[in-house]
């Protein structure tokens, strides 16, 4: 598919399908360089997005919404291609059913107020952040209210999570869990401190993220109160008969009735005779850095969204920022209006 471009003359931003093929490494002279440090990993520029301007950004949104027609609108209600375009505002009217719509109608960006160039810039910043970006940082970068980018970022997380909503994993899958949220601060005096590992000394906000990670495949996540609650999740999302690698905790024993198990005792080794959960641990390392380094505090109700975001970044870590933005934009236009985040502050703030 041909590339869509933003801007005129020298101010061009490549934003959509047709990126350079994925590469793991590039060579500069005789020295091997990681792909993410190479020029091939930088195919989308925030500077060029703003240089191209609002009209170019709007043109990109149109080409993304209606790629089959090169940006020519089609009625989302009846599919009619005969459309009238208002000259005073960026809206359309169907000649057949008289339905009025815009380029973002019926998508997760429905009722948007941000300019198209700011939306495109937000997607660029979101895709560029390898460990996620806080809403406060996005608010400063885009010069908009914190509330605006908080909802925008969660809409993007909702869109990217839809990629794997119905996916099942097969072949070889790793399963593991790690606890997040509900940090209990130790007392000042040593004599007043308690063992925070004990259940009675924890808060009710503590949650465990269970990850299912297919080797050379995708990552699925879900949060629970206890790691043992993830057994049903594993049975639902892993194809029966697959090879499942897990640590030596006893609650994973029941999976042996549905899967071929590989167990690893981490007190003896991280990997032994092909049994390991290293990819699952790699995912948790990214999620911990995302929460501790960027967001600092995550509410249990929103933990699933951040866990899915970290999984998406882990799955596509060998792709350029332009490819990530393209993928995210396709998810945005594939997702319907958000029932959770539309009018969020009016209901939940």
Give the pLDDT confidence of 24-61 residue by residue, as tens digits. 444 444 456 777 778 878 888 899 999 999 999 999 99
Q: Is 285 helix (H, G, I), strand (E, B) or coil?
A: helix
Asked whether 290 and 137 are in contact (CB, 8 A), the reply is: no
User: How buried is 203 (Cβ within 10 angstroms: 0-12 exposed, 13-18 middle, 19+ buried)?
Assistant: exposed
- pTM equals 0.86
Could you tell me the end-to-end alpha-carbon distance of the chain, in angstroms, rounded to an integer?
A: 43
Indicate if the pLDDT at residue 21 is higher than 50. Answer: no
Over the stretch 93-137, which tens digit does the pLDDT of each residue have?
999 999 999 999 999 999 889 999 999 999 999 999 999 999 999
CA atoms within 13 A on the CB side of 161: 20
Residue pointed to by tokens 């459309």? 83
Residue 91 has pLDDT above 50, yes or no: yes
Specify the residue for token string 């043109």: 59
Measured CA to CA, the distance from residue 59 to residue 167 in angstroms comes to 33
| Backbone region of residue 294 per phi and psi (left: phi > 0; alpha: psi in -120 to 50; beta: other values) | alpha
Q: CA–CA separation, 182 vs 225, rounded Å?
A: 11
Structure token pair of residue 11: 């101010």
pLDDT digits (tens, 9 = 90+) for 251-301: 999 999 999 999 999 999 999 998 999 999 999 999 999 999 999 989 999
Which of 179, 195, 118 is CA-nearest to residue 303? 179
* Share above pLDDT 90 across residues of the chain, in percent, rounded to a whole number: 76
Mean of pLDDT values over 216-242: 96
Angstrom distance (rounded) from CA 237 to CA 243: 13
Q: How far apart are CA 228 and CA 230, in angstroms?
A: 5
- pLDDT value of residue 111: 86
Give 223's strand partners: 209
Residue 246: beta bridge partners?
Answer: 263
Output Rg (C-alpha) for the chain, integer angstroms: 23
User: How high is the pLDDT of residue 34?
Assistant: 77
Q: Report strand pairing: 172-180 vs 243-247.
A: parallel
Distance CA 74, CA 93 (A): 10
Distance CA 13, CA 6 (A): 5
Using DSSP's 3-state secondary structure scheme, residue 262 falls into: strand
CA nearest to 311, candidates 164, 205, 178: 164
Confidence of residue 349 (pLDDT cuts 50, 70, 90): low
What are the pLDDT digits (tens) for 162-219?
999 999 999 999 999 999 998 888 899 999 998 887 878 888 899 999 999 999 999 9
Return the structure tokens found at 175: 């399963």
At residue 328, the pLDDT reads 94
Cβ contact 238:170 at 8 Å: yes
- Tokens of residue 119, six digits: 């939306």
Instruction: Report all structural domains of the chain as residue ranges with CATH numbers, in order of start.
Output: 5-16+40-163 (no CATH), 167-316 (3.30.420)
Place of tokens 């958000």: 338
Average pLDDT of the chain, as a whole number? 88
């Amino acid at each position: 598919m041909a590339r869509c471009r933003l801007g005129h003359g020298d101010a061009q931003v490549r934003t959509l399908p047709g990126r350079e093929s994925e590469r793991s490494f590039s060579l500069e002279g005789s020295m091997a360089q990681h792909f993410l440090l190479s020029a091939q990993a930088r195919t989308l520029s925030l500077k060029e997005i703003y240089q191209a301007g609002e009209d170019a950004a709007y043109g990109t949104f149109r080409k993304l919404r209606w790629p089959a027609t090169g940006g020519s609108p089609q009625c989302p209600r009846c599919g009619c291609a005969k459309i009238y375009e208002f000259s005073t505002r960026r809206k359309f009217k169907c000649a057949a059913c008289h339905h009025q719509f815009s380029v973002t109608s019926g998508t997760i960006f429905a009722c948007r107020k941000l300019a198209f160039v700011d939306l495109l810039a937000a997607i660029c910043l979101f895709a560029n952040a390898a460990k996620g970006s806080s809403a406060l940082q996005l608010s400063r970068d885009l010069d908009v209210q914190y509330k605006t980018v908080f909802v925008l970022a969660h809409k993007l997380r909702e869109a990217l999570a839809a990629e794997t909503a119905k996916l099942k994993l097969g072949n070889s899958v790793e399963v593991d869990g790690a606890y997040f949220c509900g940090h209990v601060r130790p007392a000042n005096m040593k004599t007043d401190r308690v063992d925070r590992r004990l259940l009675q000394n924890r808060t009710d906000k503590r949650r465990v993220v269970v990850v299912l990670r297919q080797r050379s495949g995708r990552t699925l996540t879900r949060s629970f109160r206890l790691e043992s609650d993830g057994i049903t999740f594993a049975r639902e999302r892993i194809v029966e008969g697959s090879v499942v690698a897990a640590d030596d905790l006893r609650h994973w024993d029941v999976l042996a009735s549905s899967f071929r198990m590989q167990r690893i005792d981490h007190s003896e080794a991280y990997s032994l005779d092909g049994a390991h959960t290293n990819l699952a641990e790699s995912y948790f390392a990214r999620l911990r850095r995302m929460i501790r380094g960027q967001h600092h505090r995550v509410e249990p109700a929103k933990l699933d969204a951040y866990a899915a975001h970290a999984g998406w970044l882990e799955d596509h870590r060998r792709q350029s920022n332009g490819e990530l933005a393209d993928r995210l934009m396709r998810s945005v236009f594939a997702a319907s209006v958000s029932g959770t985040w539309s009018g969020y502050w009016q209901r939940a703030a």
